[in-house]
Every structure is written in structure tokens, then in C-alpha cells.
Homo-oligomer: A and B are copies of this chain.
Amino acid sequence: MKPKKQATPVTPWPKGQLHRVPGFRTAAMHCGLKSKAKNPDLALLVCDNLAAAAGVFTTNRVCAAPVRYSRRALAASGGQARAVIVNAGNANACTGKQGTRDATVMAELAADAIGAKAQQILVCSTGVIGEHLPMQKLRDAVPVLGQHAKKRIQYGDFARAIMTTDLVAKTAGCTTRMLGRRVHMAGACKGSGMIAPRMATMLGFVATDAPVTPRVLNKALSEVVEDTFNSVTVDGDTSTNDAVLALASGGSSRKRLSKTSGPDYEAFRAGLHYVCDALARQVAADGEGAQHLVTVFVGGARNVRQARTIARTIAESPLVKTAVAGNDPNWGRIVCAAGRSGVPIKPDDCALTVCGHDLFKAGQPLPFNERKVSHAMKRKEVSIVLMVGNGPAAARFYTCDLTHGYITINADYHT
């Protein structure tokens, strides 16, 4: 959000996928958790060496066994990992002590398969809540998956294997310069929106060959996630399984960045931000029933916390989201949502612009051509910019519109 002091060295890397980052490999296959045999549902991300690792997990008090396992593994290893094993189709959530045992066994199976220790494996699950994992399927599949990962840097499609009801696979990549070298970053994620009948979860994975210590990786990831994955809302529901994991192999460099400030750190964080931001946008754009990607930008706030609160309230408002679905430049709903956010704003200080058209200023609507603005709102991306004063702080949220498609996905499957 801050104005950049210098050109960032970040360069988009359109074909950036996890296995293209030097030192990483991925494997994915169908093991029987999804009903369709052609859909992969089990995946491995493996680093050839012990990587620096960091994770940001759901803040939901009801969190799934793999989240608890991975959190503990990161704490025990001091932020190091060799691999991540992920399954889709069963979230291993609300499964009691059996769930904890199953997550541990998943890690042990992956560790055996690639020749590592169990605490060097991170575990993620997404899918049905409240059902035990069919462990025999995993016992059969994980060793096979490990074999594939040993032989090739890519087997199957990692990004597709982690999908539940996502319509498209989501990947992003970039390169950046730090410590005098070009480093690579790639990410894959799956969408939020909790799905019929009891599915959940936003999962994100980032691999990089940047040479950073676990502490630097952890700090950068925490900062970046707040402004990217944590600034996406599809329906406001945080799942039991949400997790974003990052692994940094260090590449061929012996030197590791250990400072959390300065140009090298900034360049690293900028790369991480690019990847996470690109993934977060894709999550919002592929929200359940989405016809529009909506970017809500709030500026002129007293501090970032207030700007975020206002932006989130607008982005979560069903009335704003249905107005966007109807291509309606309904400034009243947007200003109204900002007004109820709890932040003390004055309508007289507010100015609203939607898709480049000024709609509201100084407490009153401006004259505007409703048909023209409505037409502008028909594009795939809709921007809402609300200035709330002369303060220095700004924030941005991504969301999507609320459509009949959302209701169909979330209500009509059962009747």
C-alpha cells in the first residue's frame, strides 16, 4: 500500500509452477478421495534439501487435525521442512483423536516415501468435514506418489489435485533479485467458499529458491498474507482448514538473508507479495457463483486497521455484492456499509468512485449517467474506491458478487 521508493525487481513469471522452482518437485495422483477417478486428490510438494518453512493458519477456533499437526511440526523443527503432503476430498476436521492420529500417519507415510523425518513433513487436507480419512487408501497411495516424486520433478498436476469445487486451477510465479542473485517464486492455491455438502478451505503453497532464514520467511509470509489471502472474502466464512505454507530451499547460495529490513528483504517480500496477491485475486474471481471480481479500495483512513475494517465491511455486504451482480451503481449500499463498519467516518468527508465514475461526494450523490456506469460495471473486474477522509492509510479487499449461482451451489444440492 505504501508508495514504492524504487522500481521493484519483481518480474512476472507466467509459467511459474511449484516444480519449476529449482530444487522442488511435485507429484499428484488419484487415490480415491474424490469420486471421479480422473480427478487427482493427493499431492506432494518436495524440496530436495531441508528448506526454511513457514505457515499461516486459520484463526478459526474449530481447526482441523492437519492444521494442528503442521503448526506443531513447524514449531518443533524451528521452521524447517522437506515436503508438504495435501489431500482433497476429506478435510479431516471435527474427527477427534482419530483425526490427530491420521494426520500424523499421513506425515509418516510421506516421510518414509521420500526419505525424511515425520516432523519435516507438513500436512494439509480439504474436503468433507466430520468424516474419518480412509487411511488404507493413503497407505496404498503415498509410497507410489513418493516413487513418482523421486523419478521426476513433476508427475500429475499439483494445482488440480488440491481443488475441490474450484472451476480453474490457480498458479502464479515471479522472479526477483536479492543478495545479488535472481531467485524464483511460484505458488498454487485453491479457493475459499465452503462447498456442497460439507466442504471447506483455502489452501495456498509457495515455493522459492530464495536464500532466507526461517525467521525471515515467517515474517515476510505473515506480512504478505495479511494484505493478500487475508484480504479476500467470498462469503466471510473462515474454514477449519485454511493454511498458507511457504518453503524456501535457499538454492545454491550458502549465504542466507537473516535481516527483516533493507533492500534485500524488501525485494524478497515484494516477490512473495506478487505471488500471493495474484493467487488471492484468482480465489476471489473464482468464488462460488462469481460473475465479477470486485476490488474494494479504501483510502484516506486514519490507520490501516480502520481502512481494512471499512473495506472488509463493504466487501462482505450482501447488498453491495448483489448490486454488483445486477451491474447497479448503488452508491447508497456502499456508503451505508462503510457507515456501519464501526469506524467513525463522516459522509461529508467521503468520496466514492465505481469503475472510474464518481458517484458520491461530500455527503451527497453526484449527478451521473446510470446507464453508462452500469455498462462499465458489466466488465469482469469491478473496482470500488472509497475515500473516507484525508488520513494516510489505505487498504484493499478482493471479493466477488453474490449471485443465484452461490445459492444454487450452497442451498439447492440437498432439497
Binding site for B on A (CB under 8 A): 59-63, 93-96, 129-130, 194, 197-198, 200, 235-240, 316-319, 322-323, 325-328, 330-333, 335-340, 343-347, 360, 362-365, 374, 401-404, 406-408, 410-415
Residue of B nearest to A97 (CB): B363
* Of the residues B61, B323, B345, B413, contact of A410 by C-beta under 8 Å: B323
Assembled-state Cα–Cα distance A319/B237 (Å): 8
Q: Would A318 and B95 count as touching, CB distance under 8 A?
A: no
* Of the residues B63, B130, B328, B346, contact of A332 by C-beta under 8 Å: B130
Residues of B within 8 A of A414 (CB): 323, 326-328, 374
Residues of B within 8 A of A363 (CB): 94, 96
Assembled-state Cα–Cα distance A4/B328 (Å): 50
Q: Would A194 and B237 count as touching, CB distance under 8 A?
A: no
12 CB contacts below 8 A, A to B, read A60-B340, A61-B345, A96-B362, A197-B330, A198-B330, A237-B340, A238-B336, A238-B340, A240-B336, A318-B406, A322-B410, A403-B407
Question: Closest CB of chain B to A203's CB: distance in Å?
Answer: 16
Residue of B nearest to A330 (CB): B198
Interface of A is mostly: loop
Assembled-state Cα–Cα distance A316/B360 (Å): 28
Residues of B within 8 A of A63 (CB): 339
Q: Would B130 and A319 count as touching, CB distance under 8 A?
A: no
Q: Would B318 and A235 count as touching, CB distance under 8 A?
A: yes
Assembled-state Cα–Cα distance A319/B344 (Å): 30
Assembled-state Cα–Cα distance A327/B413 (Å): 10
Residues of B within 8 A of A404 (CB): 404, 407-408, 411
